[in-house]
Amino acid sequence: MTNDGRSEPWAAGLSSAARVVWAKHDFDTNDWLPLYRHMADSAAVATLLWDEWLPPQVRRLIADALPGGEDDARLLTVWLCCVHDIGKATPAFAGQVDVLADDMRANGLATPSRKQLPDHSYAPHGLAGQLILRDWLVTRHGWTERATHQLTVVVGGHHGVQPTNTGILAADKRPALLRTPGNEQAWLDVQHELLDVAADRTGVTPRLAAWRDAKLPQPVQVLLSSLVITADWIASNPDLFPLFPNAGTRSQDPVRTREAWRLLDLPAQWRPREPPGTPAELFATRFALPPGANPRPVQEQAVEAARAMPAPGLMILEAPMGEGKTEAALTVAEVFAARSGAGGCFVALPTMATSNAMFDRFLSWLAHVPGMPQEAASVFLAHSKAHLNEDYLALMGGGVTLDLDRDGGDDRDSTSLIAHRWLRGRKKGMLASFAVGTVDQLLFMGLKTRHLVLRHLALAGKTVVVDEAHAYDTFMNTYLDRALTWLGEYGVPVVILSATLPARRRRELVAAYTGDHGGHDHVEQARAHPLITTATPGAPANVLAPPASGRGTDVLVEPLADDLDTLGARLTAELVDGGCALVIRNTVARVHEAAAHLRDIFGEGTVTVAHSRFLDLDRAANDADLVAAYGPPGRGADRPARHIVVATQVVEQSLDVDFDLLVTDLAPIDLVLQRMGRLHRHPRGDDQAERPERLRRARCLITGVDWTTTPPDPVRGSRTIYGAHVLLRSLAVLRSRLEARTDAERTVRLPDDISPLVQDAYADDDALIPPAWKDEAEEARTAHEVTHVVRQEKADVFLLDEPKRPGRALIGWVDAGVGDADDSHKGRAQVRDTAESLEVLVARRSTDGTVTTVPWLPDERGGLELPTHTAPPSDAARALLASALRLPYQFTVGAAIDRAIEELEADMVPAWQTKDAHWIAGELVLFLDENDRAELAGHHLHYTRTDGLKATRAE
Instruction: Say if residues 190 and 89 touch (Cβ distance below 8 Å).
Output: yes
Mean pLDDT by 10 residues, the chain (955 residues): 52 92 94 96 97 97 97 98 98 95 96 91 97 98 97 97 96 96 97 97 96 97 98 96 83 87 93 90 84 86 96 96 91 97 96 87 90 87 84 80 52 72 90 95 94 97 93 85 97 96 94 88 92 93 90 93 98 97 97 98 97 92 91 78 96 86 97 94 91 96 98 96 95 96 94 92 90 95 92 87 96 84 55 73 96 94 95 93 91 86 94 90 94 96 97 87
List pLDDT tens digits, range 52-74: 999 999 999 999 999 999 999 99
- pLDDT at position 471 is 72
Cis peptide preceding 175, ω within 30 of 0: no
- DSSP 8-state symbol, 769: S
DSSP 3-state of 728 = helix
Mean pLDDT of the chain: 91
Residues of the chain with CATH 1.10.3210.30: 16-264
| CB-count exposure of residue 744 (10 Å: 0-12, 13-18, 19+) | exposed
Instruction: Say if residues 883 and 617 touch (Cβ distance below 8 Å).
Output: yes
- pLDDT at position 414 is 65
List pLDDT tens digits, range 37-48: 999 999 999 999
- pLDDT at position 310 is 94
- pLDDT at position 250 is 76
What is the per-residue DSSP string for 776-822? HHHHHHHHHHHHHHHHHHHHHTTBPPPP--TT---TTTTTT--S---
- pLDDT at position 404 is 54
- pLDDT at position 406 is 44
Domain 16-264 in CATH 3.30.460.80: no
Task: Determine the topology of domain 279-288+295-544 in CATH.
Answer: Rossmann fold (3.40.50)
Domain 553-750+764-780 in CATH: superfamily? P-loop containing nucleotide triphosphate hydrolases (3.40.50.300)
Instruction: Say if residues 75 and 204 touch (Cβ distance below 8 Å).
Output: yes
List pLDDT tens digits, range 810-820: 999 999 777 66
Residues of the chain with CATH 3.40.50.300: 279-288+295-544, 553-750+764-780
- DSSP 8-state symbol, 447: B
Say which residues have a Cβ less than 8 Å from residue 567's Cβ, sequence separation at least 6: 560, 583, 594, 597, 598, 663, 703
| CB-count exposure of residue 867 (10 Å: 0-12, 13-18, 19+) | middle
Q: How many CA atoms lie within 13 A of 565 on its CB side?
A: 0
